[in-house]
Amino acid sequence: MASVSIRKESNTLYLDFRYMNTRCREQTSFKNTIANRRRLEKLLVTIEAEMLAGTFRYAKHFPDSKYVQKFSEKELELHDPLEWSNLRNQRVIPLLKSSFLNGLSATKLPGVNLIP
C-alpha cells in the first residue's frame, strides 16, 4: 500500500510505494502541511490507478529519479513487447573510416561486397 511519509531531517514529504516488486521512495520538496499531504495523496491515487490499468510509466511521474533507467526497459518489455524485441534485436553497426575500408580486399572478407 502506498503512503505519504515525512522525512524527519528536513520535515519534507516523500512517497513510499511498490512498483514491479521494488520498494520506491521518491522525495519531494513539499513541506509537511495538510494541503501538500492531500496533493501527494491524490498523486498516489492516480499512480495506483495507472498501475492497475497498466498505463503507469515511471519516467512520466518521476523523470529525475534513479529508478527511471531501471524501470524503462522493464516497462517496454511488459507493455510493448514488439517494440522491446525490436530494440533488443537491433545490431550496432560500427562506422569505419574509409582508409580502413580501402585496406580491405574481398579475399580477406569472403562473401562480402565492399562499397566505398
Domain count, the chain: 1
| Mean pLDDT score across all residues of the chain | 79
Name the strand (E) or helix (H) holding 52. helix 34-53
The segment with the largest mean pLDDT, out of 62-71, 80-89, 97-106, is 62-71
Domain contains 53:
yes
Domain contains 110:
no
Q: What is the pLDDT of residue 75?
A: 79
Put simply, whether the predicted model's pTM sits higher than 0.75 gets the answer: no
The answer to whether 47 touches 34, Cβ cutoff 8 Å, is: no
Give me the domain span that covers residue 45. 3-90
Domain contains 112:
no
Domain contains 48:
yes
Write 85-89 long-range contacts (CB < 8 A, 24+): none
Show the CA angle centred on residue 81, arms to residues 79 and 83, nearest 5°.
Answer: 105
Domain contains 114:
no
Domain contains 13:
yes
Domain contains 116:
no
Domain contains 72:
yes
